[in-house]
Amino acid sequence: MAGSVCVVTEQFDGSFRRVSYELLTAARRLAEAASAEVIAIVGPKTVAEAGATLGAYGANKVVQFAGAPESEDLSQLCESLVPVLQELQPMCVLVPGTVHGQELAGRLAARVGAAAVSAVLDVSYADGALTVLRPLYGGKVLATVAVRGTPAIVTVRPNTFGAVAGGSGPAEGVTFAWVPPARAPERLHFRKSAAGRPELTEADIIVSGGRGVGSAENFRVLEELADVLGAAVGASRAAVDAGWRPQADQVGQTGKVVSPKLYIACGISGSVQHWAGISSAKCIVGINKDPQAPIFSRADYGIVGDLFEIVPELTRQVKALKGQG
């Protein structure tokens, strides 16, 4: 029997990121198949109610680090995790596929000589082996891969799995000593994104604009729709390269890979490179003047026409439905 499945949780602004609960949900499935227990790792910053919060998603134990700094930066956790892995010998460690999480996963794998795979779409355990499904070539191919040896270090992008509560009550707390990072860069400054809109990689809905939006100012039309839907605003490479939106907003092969429930592509033709960033969206709606645009061969729904008429009308009707009109 493999003893445990570890989940590295991540915090932002004083609460757990949703990806932490998504990973616990996936870990629960794995642990059931392997008759193992689920161990959540919290840190660097300690959380008083972690046992109850993470227990609700299936953590049996919660590891925290005594003497750790008040930092939410996961990349500082590598040295502290080494003794934890030595003691617990988990079959795998699930890590958020965020910027800090990816950095941690790579360093940890090198440190303990473990196999690491990133951006998995599915993870399963059968006959004593861990198998993952992951995209290759910008999602044109899906690979089913067996991961040999323990612990397997696996990163999962936010929004890949649903977060479903379920557990046997509060998790038991376990304390390890904090080991300061040997070689951490020093953070000089952090400029928080303007509040109000969700993070692209975590958003359930994304309203995205491309060349057809025409200017930076015109993105306001998309922002208004995003705000009534509680959505994030994304952009195609064309819109970013034109200087209408910052690089951080770019969705696609050279931008972010997103997995929202709903992706509304406005004035985006739908190149293969853009598709690489949105192929795991559950529903894609294309709004484009050109009935021949490639987006209309791959989206789930399409409306042909002028986005500057359609998007404001959509905003108006959603507002009316929500009683904000």
Partner 1 sequence: MNLVVAVKQVPDTEAAIRIAPDRKDIDRSALPMILNPYDEFAVEEALRLREAHGGSVWVVTVGPPAAVDVLRTAIAMGADDALHIVTEHSLDALTTAALLAQQIKTHGFDLVLTGREAIDDGYGLIAPMLAEMLEVPVVTLVSSLKLEDGSLIAERDVEGGRETLRCALPAVVSAQKGLNEPRYPSLKGKMMAKKKEIPTVSADVSEAKLEVLHLGYPPIRSGTKILGEGIQAVPELVRILRDELKVI
Query: Residue 151, preceding bond cis, omega within 30 degrees?
Result: yes
CA–CA gap between residue 102 and residue 158 (Å, rounded): 12
CB of 60 to partner 1, least distance (A): 27
Residues 149-208 that bind partner 1 (CB under 8 A): 149, 155, 158, 183-193, 199, 201-202, 204-205
255 contacts partner 1 (rule: CB under 8 A): yes
Residues 266-325 that bind partner 1 (CB under 8 A): 272-273, 276, 279, 282-286, 295-306, 309-310, 313-314, 317-318, 321-322
Start-to-end C-alpha separation, the chain = 58
Token output for 65? 């680090």
Residues 28-67 that bind partner 1 (CB under 8 A): none
Positive or negative, the Cα torsion across 97, 98, 99, 105? negative
**Residue 4: HSE in the Cβ half-sphere, 13 Å Cα cutoff:** 22
102 contacts partner 1 (rule: CB under 8 A): yes
Nearer to partner 1, 58 or 139 (CB): 139
CB of 235 to partner 1, least distance (A): 13
Nearer to partner 1, 131 or 167 (CB): 131
Nearer to partner 1, 66 or 126 (CB): 126
216 contacts partner 1 (rule: CB under 8 A): no
Nearer to partner 1, 39 or 257 (CB): 257
Residues 71-100 that bind partner 1 (CB under 8 A): 78, 98-100
CA–CA gap between residue 273 and residue 236 (Å, rounded): 9
Structural contact between residues 25 and 40, judged by C-beta atoms closer than 8 angstroms: no
CB of 137 to partner 1, least distance (A): 5
Nearer to partner 1, 54 or 276 (CB): 276
User: Residue 69: what residue type?
Assistant: P
Number of neighbouring beta carbons within 10 Å of residue 220 = 10
Give the burial string for 16-39 (b: 16+ CB within 10 Å, else e): bbbbbbbbbbbbbbbbeebebbbb
Token output for 9? 């949780």
Residues 130-159 that bind partner 1 (CB under 8 A): 131, 134-149, 155, 158
CB of 227 to partner 1, least distance (A): 13
